[in-house]
Amino acid sequence: MAGVSPELLGRLVDDHAAALVLYARQWCAAPEDVVQEAFLKLAQQLSVPDNPAGWLYRVVRNGAISAARSTRRRRRHEGLAAARAPAWFIAEASALDAEAATAALQELPVEQREIIVAHLWGGLSFEQIAELVGTSPSTAHRWYTAGLTSLRERLGVPCPSKPTIRN
């Protein structure tokens, strides 16, 4: 028996892909991925199913339900991990509101947040951070200071005054 021909596969995609995406959407957030996987599975079949459209709907349904189950499981595990994660700020040791500081840190651009965390909590030097993120030490320092400035503004903490040069 011959496998699924490219012509048949193309016709099935043209005739059913949009409806399959709509069908899968009722179960999962990434229906396009599920439909694509179903067509790949069909293309790998050694013989053409008796009812290719029905076969596709069954594979899409099973894939969408499985994807939704996987998403729920991942979110549950991520939630549990987040609940167990230590706070970035210790409320008693800081005059800052720990929740507000954490939220403000999470709102920073990823480049700034990554460098602040690596420097303050990781103890890495700007040379080490530059190597880690693929930039120069001066750029890493610039992103660090920009992030701290942004954090201070968001939290209403005054910036330390810059030293002035006196003649």
Q: What is the pLDDT of residue 118?
A: 87
Structure tokens at 154: 């968001």
pLDDT-based confidence at 79, cuts 50/70/90? Answer: confident
Lowest mean pLDDT among 42-46, 62-66, 80-84, 146-150: 80-84
Q: Which residues contact 2 (CB under 8 A, 6 or more apart)?
A: 47, 48
pLDDT tens column, 17-63: 999 999 999 999 999 999 999 999 999 999 999 999 999 999 999 99
User: How many other CB atoms sit within 10 Å of the CB of residue 46?
Assistant: 8
pLDDT tens column, 106-124: 889 988 988 888 888 788 8
All domains of the chain in start order, with CATH: 6-84 (no CATH), 91-155 (1.10.10.10)
Answer whether 47's CB lies under 8 Å from 3's CB: yes
What is the rounded distance in angstroms from the CA atom of residue 105 to the CA atom of residue 89? 11
pTM exceeds cut of 0.85: no
The share of the chain scoring above pLDDT 70, in percent, equals 87
Angle subtended at Cα 105 by Cα 102 and Cα 107, rounded to the nearest 5 degrees? 115
For residue 87, pLDDT over 80 is answered with: no
Answer whether 71's CB lies under 8 Å from 28's CB: yes
